[in-house]
Structure 1
Amino acid sequence: MQEYIPFFQGENRSFTEKLAKYFEYSGLESKIDYDEANDVYILSVPADKEKEAKKHYQAFYFVERERIKKAENEKSSEISEEAKQEPSEKSSQDISEDMVISENELEEETESELVSHKAGQTPTDDEEDMTSEVETEDYKGLITGSGNYMFKSEKYQDYTGTFYIFLFLGIAGVIFVILNIARVLTILNGVFPNFIMGALFLFFIYEAITIWNKAKKLKWEIEEENQLTEKINQWLQKTVTKDFLASISNDNLSEELNYMKQTDTIRDMLLAEFGEQNHDYLDRLIEEYYNQVFDL
């Protein structure tokens, strides 16, 4: 049985999951546990993969720090632009306060979350090369969320399957309660047990009806999403070629970081081409296309 050791701890669950997702892309298994006593999330890695985890964490640390810096710059730019456009509505003191709040929030995210049991220390001198590589990159994202998105057709199948399960259990349960009330069965004795079980099975039927209504509503949206998916896939086939990927790659970055940078670039192009869309939806389409065409 694989032995896991604690590697990272943080108060922010989403940040810990982001690190776990990065490890997953890097081919490193991990698991997250919640420590109620200390109110922290602990990410553990296989004991024999600790050195590999440190290496990937260092890359994660620098890229995430660069993302935070860029967010700071964008926020400052937005505030400056607002000050130019609406000087009478926003005083210089208000602008300064906004910048302090932004910097505090970002600092809290970087300093409090980039802390671990074993890998979150300040980078050492032998990591300077990696720092310079990542800090020169105009890198906009870190982790794609493709695993979080379900196509509407998949949701519809999930809803319908759940509907039939709840409906079957509800009807069967109501029949069971009726048979007990009629004394055909004597498994439930007394009014109270029959009342409780009857209410439970009626709730199952209610849930089945609710899920069915969701499925019907979703069914009308499936065709629209399928059409959009087809258009996006055609765009990907036409645009995302090996030469295109080579043009947006950096030989100084690892394969995992290059893949994530490529994904961010393609997603931005899709948003410009098709308008605002669910990012997880786009990430899934990009990942599936990439795996189908380039990972054969």
Structure 2
Amino acid sequence: MFVRPDFDPVAFSVGPLAVHWYGLMYLLSFLIGWGLGALRTRLAHVHWKSEEVGDLLFYVVLGVVLGGRLGYVLLYQPGYFLANPLQIFAIWDGGMSFHGGMIGVFLASAWFARKTRRTFFQITDFVAPIVPVGLFFGRIANFINGELVGRVTDVPWAMVYPHIGPQPRHPSELYEATLEGLVLFAILWVYAARPRPRAAVSGLFLLGYGTFRFFCEFFRQPDAFAGFVAFGWMTLGQLYSAPMIIAGVIMLIWAYVRTDPNQQDTGSAE
């Protein structure tokens, strides 16, 4: 059993400006994502220019931040934020919804696709292998903030969160950082290194994230304001992830049925 370190949510201060770990993790994810996007432009079957990555990143950042925050407000605690509207802007305290951020990225991708005369899936197939980097750093930020804690357990690697109580818990944030971040990144990066039918990479992302998130929710403490929402065991995270799994399977089947698996999808503008 371990005791979670007592992290200061403020990483460092410059005069009156306090830089929170949460914001720093988001900054790191965007910078590393930019670099990985530039690397993907070097693949022979990815017909993107490196300078286009920065433009796309601008739209993705807007989608992640706005969609993630509004998604959390609307999908998780609408009553609380209706009573405390100014708290909507306090993103340094945490409270970002992946599912809301994903919708935000979809909208941003559609906007960028229209702007650059590409198709929607040309954008999402390019972005999907990079997204797990942001998921990894986001879960590390959750761990540092001591939020989204795991369920009580007696496994040898359990952690005590002193600010929560003396009971040892699953370090579920680290489970999610590993599966939704590192493992999903490895799967998508390798899969997308070769030409794939259009929408296949996006479909694999939905299937992979939905599956890993659904699994990790069995070790994560249900949100106190919601508890179990169905069947006596299903959490909100699982409820929102189940459609992703179904959509991912359908997209993969559709991608391979409608396209020759060996046909190269260049991702170039049309």
TM-score where L is the length of structure 1? 0.27
- Of structures 1 and 2, the one scoring higher in RCO (CA 8 A, sep 6+) is 2
TM-score where L is the length of structure 2? 0.29
Q: Which has the higher helix share?
A: 1
For the pair shown, the structure with the greater C-alpha radius of gyration is 1
